[in-house]
Amino acid sequence: MSTPVHKGRLLAVGDIHGCRNALQVILDHVSPRTEDQWIFLGDYIDRGPDSRGVLDTLLDFSGKFPNTVFLRGNHERMLLDYLDSGDRFPYLLNGGLSTLANYGGFTTGIPSAHRHFLEQLVPYHQQDGFIFVHAGLRPEVPLKDQSEHDLLWIRDDFLTSDYSWGDTVVFGHTPQRTPLLQNERIGLDTGAVYGRELTCCEVHTRRFWSASEEFIRPSDA
């Protein structure tokens, strides 16, 4: 069941992947307000230059705005699986080497506050007629019955389906050159870690802000 309609802005941020500078530019230009609700869509770490710095920034942000929702991405799940099992190869093959380098090359360098943050991430969030999820949803499966694997990893089966869950699905995970703004789909992974941009969207108005390391471009869609 969706929560009541929020009075402030409802802001979602796509995949950050260690791009701390782009994240800070977004936060500076969107100018968070106490009445806003922020949802971060997961994949805060890996591949980019400063995953540790991204987690520091998000922890600081959560202290100032405690109602912020942080979703789990497949990269956070892979790191947690590595920490729990010691099987390093799936994680390292998917961009984890840059993250470990931020912690001195060893998982023992990960602060307890960072690990606690990763363990507390949620699989999805539903609010104001929107479903926020990292990767997408399995068609014809109710939200409560979705598997974690699909929530974190699904691509084509979700992207090519015209199935409606009743709410607009806001997601990341699949990089696109520009935000995907459809009637019941909003895709916000715009490939910041691949030299493109990080995107934040106010989902009610569909205004978005896109930031690279060098510049900010506000746009109304």
Global confidence as pTM: 0.93
Query: Is residue 117 a part of any domain in this protein?
Result: yes
Q: Maximum Cα–Cα distance for the chain, whole Å?
A: 46
- For 55, residues 6+ apart whose C-beta sits below 8 A from its C-beta are 44, 45, 114, 117
pLDDT of residue 215: 43
Query: Is residue 49 a part of any domain in this protein?
Result: yes
Query: Is residue 183 a part of any domain in this protein?
Result: yes
Which structural domain, as residue segments, surrounds residue 170? 10-220
pLDDT of residue 90: 85
Full pLDDT tens readout for the chain, 221 residues:
444 456 799 999 999 999 999 999 999 999 999 999 999 999 999 999 999 999 999 999 999 999 999 999 999 999 999 999 888 888 998 999 999 999 999 899 999 999 999 999 999 999 999 999 999 999 999 999 999 999 999 999 999 999 999 999 999 999 999 999 999 999 999 999 999 999 999 999 999 999 986 544 444 33
The DSSP code sequence of 124-167 is EEEETTEEEESS---TTS-GGG--HHHHHH--HHHHT-----SS
pLDDT of residue 88: 85
Total of domains in the chain: 1
In one-letter notation, the amino acid at residue 6 is H
102, 52 Cβ separation under 8 angstroms: yes
CATH number of 106's domain = 3.60.21.10
pLDDT of residue 219: 43
Helix (H, G, I), strand (E, B) or coil at 55: helix
What stretches of the chain adopt beta strand conformation (E)? Answer: 10-13, 37-40, 69-70, 124-127, 130-133, 168-171, 180-181, 185-187, 198-202, 207-211, 216-220
